[in-house]
Every structure is written in C-alpha cells, then in structure tokens.
Chains A and B, each alone.
Chain A
Amino acid sequence: MRIVVLTKPVPDPAAAAERLGPDNRLDRAASPAVINGNDEYVLEAALKLVEAHGGEVVLLSMAPATGPETMRKGLAMGAHRGVHVTDPALAGSDAWTTARVLAAALGEMEYDLVLAGFDTSDGTAGVVGAGVATLLKLPYLSSAAQIEPDPKAGTVRVRRISATGFDVLEAPMPALIVGTQLLGEPRYPSLKGIMGARSKEIATRSIADLGLDATGVGIAASRTEVASKRTPPQRGDAIVVRGSAEEAATAIVDLLTERRLL
C-alpha cells in the first residue's frame, strides 16, 4: 500500500495566538506551527494500514519554507518520507489554489490512497480534499470513521458517518479519503521515531517543478478577500458561585428563572 497523507502546518491552536496581519491575511509568524490536528488522525490511520498491509506513508505538504520542521513530527510518528511543495509565489493561496497545487504534486507521485483531514484549524474549510479528488477524478470517500482496503481486490471500504449512523462506501483504488477523529487517537512519536525522523528524506518541489505558473497561484489567484475584522463582544464576567451544592443549585435555578429558561 502506498499512502499519501495531506498534512498542513497550521498555527498551534493551543497557543491561541493566531492573528491576521495588516493585509488581513494569516500572520504565520505570530504562532508556532504544528501539524493540523485533524491530519494526525488520518496519518495515524495510514500508519496502521501500512503496519497491517506493508508499504509506505508519504506526507505531502504545501507550506512555507519552515514546513519541514513541522513535517518532522509526522515523520517521527512513522511516516517514511515527505514531499514539501514550497514557493514564495504560493503565499496567500486559497482552498482552490491549494487543491490545484496538491493535485499537481500528486500527479507525479504513485499511490493507492490519498488521505486528507476533516478540516484545518486555521481555515476550517474542509473543501481541499473534495477539490483534489475532483481534479484527479479519484473516487471521493468522506467523513470516514473506518478505512478497510482490500489490496488483492484493489478496492477500499469506508464507514462514512451519516446523520443516522453509518454508510458503508466502496470504491476501487486509487481513491481519496477524508477521515475523522473516529479513526482513532494519534500516537505520540517515540524517542526512536524522533531520532529516526532526522535522517528521513523530505523532497522539495517548487511550482515550476510542478509545471504551474506563478500567476495561477498564491494571492494572484486567490478568489476571496477579507474586508474587515472585529473582536466579537465578550460575555460579561461570569457570576462565580461557591458554596454548598444546595446553594449552587439555587443559584442556577434563580438564573434560569430570571432568563425565562424554565
């Protein structure tokens, strides 16, 4: 099994320091970067599949020059190598440009499955996977809670979360799958993994390498623009209730009554 995992470096949500710069674009220097949390779930699933069926997990990131630092964590978790698409012209890319660049990069790779995360914490679009699948005309299986390939038959089954339970989807490989947290908790890199990651290969590709034109990517091609930003009104300071359970319950009931919630 050859599995490509799309991983995006994002500002660490735990630092809660994300901000827009004066140009209303994400200020990537403001926060330390981490692998997008939802991408770790699909990476975990990819690692388990390769453990079971053999093969290779390749990380594919379109990211600024600092991308490899973040990709090392994915390599430390167990991915075999990385492909880093980077180019000054890519700054300011929107979801559609990102999908086109990733599709171009996949065009020169070999794979049975491409896995993408549910969405990103800095963009939360959740549309890049569908865009890539459409461009490459790959079967698209989304909201995956479970991934079961049958390498002999060349097919893959996915349990897709539905409003009332699950749909079981089946498609021939290669296919693109968007996963969810139900795939299972991502592993922590072991010390050995961290040491080993240092010597793993991360290949660099520019947009020229991919045969793309600088005017078709980045800010130049972005379709959307932030016009204004504001801090939302804060809830006033919380009423703090201490005391016995009985007193606390009374305080809650009083607030519910006052706000006509009973």
Chain B
Amino acid sequence: MAGIWVVADTNADGSLARIGAEVATLARTLAKAASADATGIVVGADPTGAATELATYLPRVIAVTDAAAADHAWAAIAAQRAAEVIDATGPTLVLTGAGPDGRDVAGTLMALLDGGVLVNATGVKWDGGEIVEMSVFGGRLVTTSHFVEGTAVRIITLRPNVVTAEAGASPGRVEGVTPKGELTLPAVKVVDRIEEASAAAPIEEARVIVAGGRGVGGTEGFELVGQIAEALGGAVGATRAAVDSGWIPYAQQIGQTGKIVKPRLYLALGISGAIQHKVGMQTAETVIAVNRDPDAPIADFADMIVIGDLFEVGKALLAQLKAKSG
C-alpha cells in the first residue's frame, strides 16, 4: 500500500466532525497493519482548527486553504484539492465519512482519480489487503469486499459509530498548503445559509433514542415521546412517516434516507419497522417496541415487544421512570 489518506469532514463552524475523527482513527489502525503512512487532508477557507484537531489522530495532516470554500459548495472543492495532494502512484486507500458530504467527496474523487469505491463500510480490516465489511439488503446480509488488482485509487466511505475515535500516542505535524491550480469543476455558490432552530438533541451520538412513528399521531404525541426521552437521558428519533407528516424535523429521521444510528437503547413507539427504517437502527444494542399490532415487522428485530397502546404504556412508563429518579 502506497499510502492511506483521510479526507476529513468538518462542521459548519470549521471544527473537525466526529466522523472525521472516527475515519482518522481507522486510517491510523490500517496504516499500522499495512506498514503504510496515514495522512489527513483538511480543505477549507480556514482549515487550521480542524487540521490541528485531526493531527491528534494522525501523524501527518495537510491543511489546504482555499478561500472559495467559504461561500461555495464544499465537496467538489475538497475533492479537487484532495486529488492534487494525494499521491496515487501505487495502490492508495482514500477514506472519508459516509454522510452527505463524504459521499459527494467520494463520488467526485472516483471520477477525478479514476478510482474504485466501496461505500457505507461497517468495518475495514487489513489482512494483506483491505477487507471492507458492508451491510446490504436492509441488513439481511453482511458482505466483505475488496478492490480488484490493478485498482490504484481505492475510496472507502465509513459509517458513523463503527469506530471509536482514539487519539494517537503523540500529535502529528500539520503542513499548510496553498492550492496548486485553478478549480476545473464549476464552483457552486452558497448564496445563503439558513439555521433551522431545532430544539431536538442530535440523534447521531445519542446513547438512548426514543423514536416515534405514525402511531404517535401528531405533535402532541411527540411531546410524550420527548418527555420519555428526557427521562431516559436520550434524544428523539422518528420514521419518515412522522417526518412527512410534519410532526418532527427531517434531522431526526432514522433510516435509509435519514440517519444511521447505533444507540445502546432504541425505544420505538408506534413504528411498524419497515425495511427502510430498519437499516437505520438495526445495530442498536437493545430494541424495545411498543405497538398495538403483535404482527408488526419490528417484532422480528426487537428484544422486547409490548403489545398495547403507546399512549397508555408511554404514560405509565414515564410515571415509573419519574418515580424511580425521585
């Protein structure tokens, strides 16, 4: 392996995204096993903060300053600048996150560097070559894949929460770089950034998620869901049916077209367990469902199914939780 590269995801405020730290930790582990060098790349109008953070995980970080990133769509710029930096003279792994930005970077890099892509990895190991684990067909099958011989650039996107971020023994060095050439892909202007005031806690990192579906019936029902989540110290999640009904913002949606979560506890209220929802939560440690239909598909992948009305059970549960915490 010629080298292992990380194109790091950053947050809106320019800090390193949690998935960026997870990907960097994976890269360091793989580099050790493959006896290769691991290098991080941060692209931004002001990449220094994230680059310094990334260097706690990687021995070497390249910070590319590109002013265009301040008010243009980030991924195409990041991919082009990364393509300039990545040394692809031999087999090269390029790792990034499996979120919306990471997939844009991966797709653009694939075309820029004529590379192969494996997406949404649920684990990557090294044993003489990369072994990329993926969960497919709504979780009914787990596959391992690799790139065929002769593939120089090997791009992998990693799902959140499959690697625990761990800093390296000593911080790495940060090299600042100014972009080499003009951007060859059209830069897309960001004319406005709109902050959506969302009271809801983010679900990606939540240890406990209480999720509501169509059965919750409306915003009032979601107040009960929120109270139970609060009593358990968790966040509120939802199905697409609940989001489409406008009861809760899209940011809380779990599933194929929402977030992939891996909490210790997933409490599902009024959720049938459609395949597109299942893919987002099936790796939760403990799944408890409350549903009045004993035949709801979620019964097949829950640890406990309570057959009953979610409002009655929910209120009783809330009372007991409150009584317990005094």
Instruction: Tell me the smallest distance from the CB of A43 to a CB of chain B, in Å.
Output: 15
How many Å lie between the Cα of A160 and that of B103 in the bound state?
A: 14
How many Å lie between the Cα of A160 and that of B73 in the bound state?
A: 10
How many Å lie between the Cα of A80 and that of B128 in the bound state?
A: 51
Residues of B within 8 A of A256 (CB): 232, 265
How many Å lie between the Cα of A180 and that of B190 in the bound state?
A: 19
Structural contact, B111 and A135, CB atoms closer than 8 A: yes
Residues of B within 8 A of A167 (CB): 73, 190, 192-194
Structural contact, A249 and B319, CB atoms closer than 8 A: yes
Residues of A within 8 A of B104 (CB): 130, 140, 142
Question: Does B195 sit at the interface, judged by CB under 8 A?
Answer: yes
Q: Please report which residues of chain B, range 164-195, place their CB below 8 angstroms from some CB of chain A when the two chains form the complex.
A: 184-186, 188-195
Residues of B within 8 A of A109 (CB): none
Q: Does more than half of chain A's interface fall in helix, strand or loop, or is it mixed? A: mixed
Q: Taking CB as reference atom, which chain A residue is nearest B276?
A: A13
Task: Determine, out of A56-64, A67-75, A119-127, A196-204, the stretch whose residues face the partner at the interface.
Answer: A119-127
Instruction: Tell me the smallest distance from the CB of A103 to a CB of chain B, in Å.
Output: 9
Which of B188, B288, B304 touches A171 (beta carbons < 8 Å)?
B188
Instruction: Tell me the smallest distance from the CB of B178 to a CB of chain A, in Å.
Output: 23
How many Å lie between the Cα of A121 and that of B228 in the bound state?
A: 33
Question: Does A195 sit at the interface, judged by CB under 8 A?
Answer: no
Interface centre among B100, B131, B299 (most CB of A within 10 A): B100
Task: Determine, out of A44-52, A82-90, A207-215, A235-243, the stretch whose residues face the partner at the interface.
Answer: A235-243
Interface centre among B103, B184, B185, B188 (most CB of A within 10 A): B188
Which of B103, B147, B264, B301 touches A127 (beta carbons < 8 Å)?
B103
Task: Determine, out of B37-45, B114-122, B211-219, the stretch whose residues face the partner at the interface.
Answer: B114-122
Question: Does A111 sit at the interface, judged by CB under 8 A?
Answer: no
Q: How large is the interface on B (under 10, 10 to 19, 20 to 34, 35 or more residues)?
A: 35 or more
How many Å lie between the Cα of A125 and that of B304 in the bound state?
A: 32
Question: Does A53 sit at the interface, judged by CB under 8 A?
Answer: no
How many Å lie between the Cα of A256 and that of B320 in the bound state?
A: 12
Q: Please report which residues of chain B, range 280-306, place their CB below 8 angstroms from some CB of chain A when the two chains form the complex.
A: 285-290, 294, 299-306
Structural contact, A255 and B304, CB atoms closer than 8 A: yes
Residues of B within 8 A of A224 (CB): 116-118, 145-148, 151
Given contacts A143-B100, A161-B250, A168-B194, contact A232 B188 (CB under 8 A): no
Question: Does B35 sit at the interface, judged by CB under 8 A?
Answer: no
Question: Does A134 sit at the interface, judged by CB under 8 A?
Answer: yes
Structural contact, A252 and B145, CB atoms closer than 8 A: no
How many Å lie between the Cα of A13 and that of B275 in the bound state?
A: 8
Interface centre among A139, A141, A143, A224 (most CB of B within 10 A): A224
Given contacts A140-B185, A249-B319, contact A129 B107 (CB under 8 A): yes
Question: Does A77 sit at the interface, judged by CB under 8 A?
Answer: no
Structural contact, B196 and A165, CB atoms closer than 8 A: yes
Q: Taking CB as reference atom, which chain A residue is nearest B244?
A: A185
Residues of B within 8 A of A236 (CB): 303
How many Å lie between the Cα of A222 and that of B321 in the bound state?
A: 54
Which of A24, A130, A241 touches B107 (beta carbons < 8 Å)?
A130
Instruction: Tell me the smallest distance from the CB of B224 to a CB of chain A, in Å.
Output: 13
Given contacts A16-B138, A134-B108, A180-B257, contact A223 B12 (CB under 8 A): no
Residues of A within 8 A of B306 (CB): 241, 248, 251-252
Question: Does A246 sit at the interface, judged by CB under 8 A?
Answer: yes
Given contacts A96-B111, A126-B103, contact A253 B320 (CB under 8 A): yes
A interface, CB within 8 angstroms of B? 13-14, 16, 18-20, 24, 37-38, 94-96, 99, 118-119, 121-122, 124-131, 133-135, 137-143, 145, 157, 159-172, 175, 180-182, 185, 222-232, 234-236, 238-243, 245-246, 248-253, 255-256, 259, 261-262
A–B complex contacts, Cβ < 8 Å, 7 sampled: A96-B117, A134-B107, A225-B146, A228-B144, A232-B141, A252-B267, A261-B232
Instruction: Give 9 closest A-B pairs by Cβ, nearest first.
Output: A130-B107, A223-B116, A127-B107, A165-B196, A134-B111, A249-B316, A245-B312, A168-B192, A245-B316
